Chains A and B, each alone.
Chain A
Amino acid sequence: MTASASAGEIAAFVDEPGDTRDGERVERAMSAFVKDFGMLAAVYLETCVHCGMCADACHFYEVTKEAKYTPILKVEPFKQAYKREYGPFAPVYRLLNLTPKVTFDELERWQELLYESCNVCGRCSLVCPMGIDIAGLIAEARHGMAAAGLVPEELLPRTDADRSVGIDFAAALGELAATHKIEIPLDKPQADIVCMLFLVDLQKYPKSVVAIARIMNHLRLSWTFSSRALAADNLDFVSGQRDAERRVNRKLVDATIAVGAQSLILPECGHAYEAMRWEAANDYGKTLPFKILHISEFLAEQVQAGALVLRAVGKSATFHDPCQVSRRGGAIDAPRVVLAALGLDVKEMSPTKGTNWCCGGGGGVAAIARADDLRHKVFRLKMAQIEDTGAELAVTSCSGCRRTFDDGQAHFHWDQTMGSLVELVADNLAAVPA
């Protein structure tokens, strides 16, 4: 079966060309920023005291010591615009020119800070003594940048396939099923569980797709992939294109409801988790009629219920926390429950869990070629962290992180390969309990 979309659906996805007046683009940026966040953004912007401590939590600052990478500076134009145009004392600020008017050139310069040197990993939000969610503000600033047409080219979906449209999923999954001699259900009319995958996995990590099928079949669950919503990728969520992001989320929600599923299992993907787990219901406008789990949460639930029994691997391992799943998503303990069930001797990194360093590739940074040098500097932090553990295996639950590790491994000729939690589980399934 081939997923397809009408011309109208495609047209709605196309980004506006950049021939709008600069002033108007600035206006759009600011109104998109303020409109979305409302009171919360306002109180955050009103409360910053410029202590600069957020810099100490940011890996881009940590590895370069360049002040321009200070997280709160990344929203400075939006902060200026808020105070000058929208804040309670905006007339006073304008009259006394206490904050200058934001220009289009300024926004253009800020593209580097908002996209190339920020993974929206949220580590800065943990150090702010005021309690400001700086990463949340940066995500909102990206909405503003998108409204102004200032998303880096690499983060703009350019083909249908970038938005999972027009791909022959049936053929792709059929080929995998034949190669690995496994049943991969697609478009079952009814199922208790809908699984999704990360589009990149189909090409780069097909074993992880097979692993999902192997685990679900092993557990004898009623499940299916849906060609209407096979890929949970949401590049628009990453780039800040709010309307397009909503359409993607809505498509995935509708497809899950159509199957009558009680659960939607998301793949090893950080941004898909943040977009679906915490935003889809808001895009839907009400509580969803099904629950959403990251695959690591699902595996942990099955382990804890006694349904999933695993063979002991008998090695030591360290776990890389994907920022959007762990620090910002809350699934911090779930992968560790699974690692324990695998009999692994877990050697935690320092820092770890909620304060773990980001791999440097998230938030779209890995896709932006001109950010490569900076990203590789950040990756050195990650290599040192992992080497310091002395663990035999390195495991994560995000294919985006995994790609960043693969790239870093190749760049530095490193001997450590980042593994996938779901693949490790699929490789060590024990007999199903009676």
Chain B
Amino acid sequence: MTLLSFARGIALEVATMVFVLGIAWRLVGILLLRARRDHSAARRHDAWKGLMMTATRSWPKKEFIGASGFVEAISYTWHLALFATILLYAPHVVLLQNVVEAFLPFPVVGRILFYWPTLPAGMIFFLASLSSGLLLIAFAHRLINPVKRLISNFDDYLSWLLTLAPLITGMAAYMHVGGPYQTVLAVHILSVEALMIWFPFGKLMHLFTMFAVRGVTGVLFVRKGAAT
């Protein structure tokens, strides 16, 4: 068994299982907890306005732009560049289709659900470079900024490393640097699998909880008429 066949075979299966089951376990673990019923008289019944916070919280209030604008700009840009790299690169889309096909009883569903236009490889390389560069700046900021340094933990650093690694190895594979192509590609796939395995256990889970949290808080605050 070559390193590449291992990465594409058993390692991918294990990582996918951990990723899916881990996320499900963590979400169910939260959802099984008690949710308190609120008997107070609502000032306003406008759940839609509350749910709007899922979008509006993506941009800081003008009062906070001076203080938090830099961090937000860096963060949103590297996130968007990362998602574009993952979802708009043709080989990634084909891989997603193959993985979904392997798990779904009707393979054609995967083909339909995971079909969308992709970007040229050169543009993806630029986006991956941008995302990597901004991740490095974010890391430096975490080390330099006294607040972020104080509140950071193992999860923050490991999650950062495991997010950056696929970008770096992916660019290396694209550029044919760092060793034989098949080895670098295998390392790239393994780095993604490491990310998938860690994903359910650490802060990366905010991908699944963030919008729910914004929505819930928004609905609760609007119900009181509180500032959102």
Residues of A within 8 A of B (CB): 36-40, 42-44, 46-53, 55-57, 61, 65, 67-68, 70, 72-73, 76, 87-89, 92, 98-99, 122, 125-133, 277-282, 284-288, 291-292, 326-332, 351, 353-355
Give every chain B residue within 8 A of A326 (Cβ-Cβ): 227
Please state if B36 and A354 are interface contacts (CB–CB under 8 Å). no
Please state if B148 and A52 are interface contacts (CB–CB under 8 Å). yes
Q: How far is the CB of A298 from chain B (nearest CB, A)?
A: 14
B36 CB contact (under 8 Å) in A40, A87, A88, A353: A40
Please state if B57 and A129 are interface contacts (CB–CB under 8 Å). yes
B212 within 8 A of A: yes
Please state if A43 and B216 are interface contacts (CB–CB under 8 Å). yes
Provide a sorted-by-A list of 25 A–B residue pairs whose CB atoms are within 8 angstroms: A39-B31, A39-B33, A42-B29, A50-B156, A50-B203, A67-B146, A67-B150, A70-B150, A73-B150, A89-B201, A125-B217, A126-B64, A130-B206, A131-B57, A131-B215, A132-B217, A133-B221, A277-B40, A278-B224, A280-B40, A282-B36, A285-B39, A326-B227, A328-B226, A329-B224
Closest to B60 in A: A127
B61 CB contact (under 8 Å) in A55, A92, A127, A279: A127
B28 within 8 A of A: yes
B41 CB contact (under 8 Å) in A40, A126, A291, A331: A291
Give every chain A residue within 8 A of B67 (Cβ-Cβ): 53, 56-57
Q: How far is the CB of B214 from chain A (nearest CB, A)?
A: 3
Please state if B64 and A56 are interface contacts (CB–CB under 8 Å). yes
Give every chain B residue within 8 A of A40 (Cβ-Cβ): 35-36, 216
Q: How far is the CB of A296 from chain B (nearest CB, A)?
A: 13
Which of B67, B147, B220 is most buried by chain A, counting CB atoms within 10 A of its CB?
B147
**Seed contacts A67-B150, A129-B75, A282-B36; 17 additional CB < 8 Å A-B pairs:** A37-B36, A42-B33, A48-B203, A49-B156, A50-B148, A70-B150, A89-B201, A127-B64, A129-B60, A130-B206, A278-B40, A280-B40, A281-B38, A282-B38, A288-B41, A330-B44, A330-B226
A37 to B33: give the CA distance in the assembly, Å.
9
Closest to B37 in A: A282
Give every chain A residue within 8 A of B58 (Cβ-Cβ): 129
Closest to A38 in B: B34
Q: Known: A47-B210, A281-B39. Is A329-B226 also a contact (CB below 8 A)?
A: yes
Please state if B201 and A92 are interface contacts (CB–CB under 8 Å). yes
A51 to B67: give the CA distance in the assembly, Å.
12
- Bitwise, B45-83 to A at CB < 8 A (1) or not (0) is 000000001100110110110011001100100000000
B26 within 8 A of A: yes
Q: How far is the CB of A122 from chain B (nearest CB, A)?
A: 8
A284 CB contact (under 8 Å) in B39, B214, B226, B227: B39
Please state if A131 and B214 are interface contacts (CB–CB under 8 Å). yes
Please state if B34 and A39 are interface contacts (CB–CB under 8 Å). yes
A242 to B31: give the CA distance in the assembly, Å.
24
Please state if B39 and A47 are interface contacts (CB–CB under 8 Å). no
Please state if B68 and A50 are interface contacts (CB–CB under 8 Å). no
Q: Lowest 6 A-B CB distances belong to which pairs?
A: A354-B227, A330-B225, A88-B29, A131-B214, A56-B67, A38-B34
B218 within 8 A of A: yes
A39 to B30: give the CA distance in the assembly, Å.
6
B152 within 8 A of A: yes
B217 CB contact (under 8 Å) in A133, A280, A353: A133
Please state if B225 and A46 are interface contacts (CB–CB under 8 Å). no
Q: How far is the CB of B64 from chain A (nearest CB, A)?
A: 5
Q: How far is the CB of B86 from chain A (nearest CB, A)?
A: 19
B153 within 8 A of A: yes
A125 to B150: give the CA distance in the assembly, Å.
20
A355 CB contact (under 8 Å) in B53, B61, B153, B209: B61
A61 to B145: give the CA distance in the assembly, Å.
13
Please state if B148 and A46 are interface contacts (CB–CB under 8 Å). no
Q: How far is the CB of A286 from chain B (nearest CB, A)?
A: 6
Q: How far is the CB of B11 from chain A (nearest CB, A)?
A: 20
Please state if A287 and B39 are interface contacts (CB–CB under 8 Å). yes
Give every chain A residue within 8 A of B28 (Cβ-Cβ): 88
B213 within 8 A of A: yes
Please state if A52 and B145 are interface contacts (CB–CB under 8 Å). yes
Closest to A328 in B: B226
Q: How far is the CB of B193 from chain A (nearest CB, A)?
A: 18
Please state if B75 and A282 are interface contacts (CB–CB under 8 Å). no
A285 to B217: give the CA distance in the assembly, Å.
22
A89 CB contact (under 8 Å) in B26, B40, B60: B26
Closest to B222 in A: A330
A40 to B35: give the CA distance in the assembly, Å.
7
Give every chain B residue within 8 A of A44 (Cβ-Cβ): 213
A51 to B152: give the CA distance in the assembly, Å.
9
Give every chain A residue within 8 A of B203 (Cβ-Cβ): 48-50
Q: How far is the CB of B210 from chain A (nearest CB, A)?
A: 5
Please state if B227 and A130 are interface contacts (CB–CB under 8 Å). no
Closest to A126 in B: B227
Give every chain B residue within 8 A of A65 (Cβ-Cβ): 146
B205 within 8 A of A: yes
A42 to B153: give the CA distance in the assembly, Å.
19
Closest to A285 in B: B39
Closest to A87 in B: B29
Q: How far is the CB of B170 from chain A (nearest CB, A)?
A: 23
Please state if A282 and B40 are interface contacts (CB–CB under 8 Å). yes
A332 CB contact (under 8 Å) in B53, B214, B227: B227
Q: Known: A280-B40, A282-B40, A355-B227. Is A98-B154 also a contact (CB below 8 A)?
A: yes
Give every chain B residue within 8 A of A291 (Cβ-Cβ): 41
